């Protein structure tokens, strides 16, 4: 059976660490403001969002700690790799997210970055941190499923 994929969607970067460290409550798609040299570097796939998170500054959401490598051909007009980058959302969505962060003690983490119809988009999740014992249970289940599949392969 063929897998149906969205032809206009090109995934650039995934944050696998986020699903291990957090429980996701809500997932949203947001645009991201990038400079010319940043978008060139993103198109080359030179981006890391593993340690990134979003915070509220002056009524806007800003992505912090994302690393976009320097673009060699940009020379003097290059960007700062660890700059704060503004996320583009509707005002209603921003207010809802800010309320969740302040009231419930949740955080906003990016889960993946992709191109959709030529525009850079970032998928953000409103998340709650896992405790250490929750992470151990997740790892234990993952290992058990791996062993189970090995056993089934050997027996058949």
User: pLDDT tens digits, residue range 73-114?
Assistant: 877 878 878 888 999 999 999 999 888 888 887 899 999 999
Task: Write the secondary structure of 99-136 as one string of H (helix), E (strand) and C (coil).
Answer: HHHHHHCCEEEEEEEEEECCEEEEEEEEEEECCHHHHH
Is the Cα torsion angle 104, 56, 58, 94 positive or negative in sign? negative
Classify residue 76 by burial, with Cβ atoms within 10 Å: 0-12, 13-18, 19+: exposed
**pLDDT for the residue 3:** 54
**pLDDT for the residue 7:** 66
Classify residue 136 by burial, with Cβ atoms within 10 Å: 0-12, 13-18, 19+: exposed
Q: How far apart are the first and last CA of the chain?
A: 23
Name the CATH topology of 9-130. Answer: Small Protein B; Chain: A; (2.40.280)
Confidence class for position 135, pLDDT limits 50, 70, 90: confident
Q: Is the pLDDT of residue 5 over 80?
A: no
């Amino acid at each position: 059976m063929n897998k149906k994929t969205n032809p206009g969607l090109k995934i650039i970067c995934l944050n696998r660490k986020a699903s291990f460290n957090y429980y996701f409550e809500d997932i949203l798609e947001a645009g991201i403001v990038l400079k010319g040299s940043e978008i060139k570097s993103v198109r080359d796939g030179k981006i890391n969002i593993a340690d990134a998170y979003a915070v509220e500054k002056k009524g806007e959401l800003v992505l912090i700690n994302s690393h976009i490598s320097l673009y060699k051909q940009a020379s003097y007009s290059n960007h700062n790799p660890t700059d704060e980058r503004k996320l583009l959302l509707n005002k209603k969505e921003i207010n809802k997210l800010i309320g969740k962060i302040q009231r419930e003690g949740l955080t906003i983490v990016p889960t993946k970055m992709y191109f959709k119809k030529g525009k850079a988009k970032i998928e953000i999740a409103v998340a709650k941190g896992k405790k250490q014992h929750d992470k151990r249970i997740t790892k234990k289940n993952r290992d058990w499923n791996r062993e189970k599949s090995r056993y089934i392969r050997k027996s058949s």
